[in-house]
Structure 1
């Protein structure tokens, strides 16, 4: 009888950036609920959870290395989940009918696909020989969903600046081509934020630990990155 009385319950309020919610977060919640059936969840899928952090128990938020979004005074614990370089890509169909790209400034003459949730500005960073260049792009297509932007790049609608794990399988298959390989890019960093454990109720702490353990197990598998974003 005690096991029923002591079964964790409550509600976990999560804000998650769109790129991560469907492919990673939702399956973890499903697995957690099979074990703890009385814990409920509220999901807010948007990339700006830190601006209203008091509304949430857990925030999964992304930032770029050249333009971090984090407020250093936030009273939250920060755990890095993933750090990946951006990769500049386009489809063969797009590139066939256009001039080759040899340096970043030429991007201003091309159709660029932009997601504010990824870079938070209309600038893409490149560096070579310690010289950093921030290239202002024209937002020929702006979307809020990274998977939609990824699909647009594969359809030949323009050039995209996406985290490596999103595009690496498509580069290997030849569906997308990596551009400007001699240049380094910014890094995309996905972080988990939460209050000090003493401020969290039992259900939130259990889910936070379960999430980190499950995610860590996924990263240790050989196919760890290909499973994070659906094809």
Structure 2
């Protein structure tokens, strides 16, 4: 390989040298040091000094005589022609950057746990509202039952936890805002109760087929409380389903007993498709949280989306989740 074709790994150009070269470009354009200095926002003495230093540093004369007009050397003309385009490019880049100050531009990546009604209605509605206001924002939404495992790939992670596991599951490198909080409800279909009987105390759940959702419980325990006594029930994972939508479907299909956040089952209880069990016992709390990276590590676009999402979440959650009619819940394979 010849010397000229070898890759060059040089240090960045001295910013002061770049300033002097761009001053020289303005000097050629404006014809005089006085006008070029005014154009660049420096004193005439500074401009004169920059010009002398530039020639000394390059080791070649750029102009002849005391006037620049019609006195540029061949080397000076070459430098001018090359860097006049650079100067135009810099100005164009700066002009384009002004758009970022006046409108939101960028990408937002979201990873959400699959929660009936929530991901397909509330999250999509807020994304739609935000992109209508900010049409130059690109949004990516991924729905997965193991959302926290992808925290390093996304700007936002919407994932659930329980009182029993909340502290141990929250990643220390992310900030968090709680979006929803609900108690769990133990439910089964009327047909399941007719065929298998109704558990009257939590310990009797071990005699029943329990629908276990890995998206809610890593510990395999359902928590009950009676007179401040905590009663953890270890669930026999005879039917483990990763997707919470399918857990609801299985419960409605009389496949077993489910332990789910209240908002997911209340409409079905009102309709009679599910029956609440063990109602005299308190249950664990379910939390849906928004996890995100600290502001000093995110773009302005991501920060604006976060603020918009949090500011508008509560009212929309009340509208879409609390007031949802039973017929609006679509469970795969089940006609409600």
CA change 1:106–1:22 in 2 (3 A) is: same
Q: C-alpha separation between the residues in 1 aligned to 2:265 and 2:247?
A: 11
Unpaired segments of 5 or more residues in structure 2? 1-94, 331-336
Q: C-alpha separation between the residues in 1 aligned to 2:278 and 2:139?
A: 43
How far has the Cα of 1:224 moved from its partner? 4.3
Please point out which of 304, 311, 323 is paired with 1:213.
311
How far has the Cα of 1:219 moved from its partner? 3.8
How far has the Cα of 1:211 moved from its partner? 1.2
Corresponding residue for 2:215?
A: 117
Corresponding residue for 2:119?
A: 21
Partner SS for 1:63: strand
Corresponding residue for 2:143?
A: 45
Please point out which of 240, 251, 254 is paired with 1:142.
240
How far has the Cα of 1:60 moved from its partner? 0.9
Q: C-alpha separation between the residues in 2 aligned to 1:39 and 1:17?
A: 22
Q: Are residue 12 (structure 1) and residue 108 (structure 2) matched?
A: yes
Cα deviation 1:170-220 (Å, max 9, x = unaligned):
112221110001111101011111122232212211211121122122245
How many residues in Structure 1 have an aligned counterpart in Structure 2? 230
Conserved 8 A contact 2:145-2:242: no
Conserved 8 A contact 2:188-2:277: yes
Q: Are residue 193 (structure 1) and residue 287 (structure 2) matched?
A: no
Conserved 8 A contact 2:109-2:155: yes
Q: What is the root-mean-square deviation of aligned Cα atoms in Å?
A: 2.5
Q: C-alpha separation between the residues in 2 aligned to 1:38 and 1:18?
A: 27
Please point out which of 322, 326, 330 is paired with 1:225.
322
The one of the two structures with greater contact order (alpha-carbon pairs below 8 A, sep at least 6) is 1
How far has the Cα of 1:90 moved from its partner? 0.3
Conserved 8 A contact 2:122-2:317: no
Partner SS for 2:166: coil
Partner SS for 1:97: helix
Q: C-alpha separation between the residues in 2 aligned to 1:114 and 1:55?
A: 28
Corresponding residue for 2:253?
A: 155
Cα deviation 1:8-63 (Å, max 9, x = unaligned):
22211212111132232122212222221221122232243434433221111110
Conserved 8 A contact 1:154-1:176: yes
Partner SS for 1:118: coil
Unpaired segments of 5 or more residues in structure 1? none
Conserved 8 A contact 1:23-1:230: no
CA change 1:227–1:28 in 2 (3 A) is: farther
Q: C-alpha separation between the residues in 2 aligned to 1:175 and 1:73?
A: 38
How far has the Cα of 1:227 moved from its partner? 4.0
Partner SS for 2:135: coil
CA change 1:141–1:100 in 2 (3 A) is: same
Mean Cα deviation higher: 179-188 or 135-144: 135-144
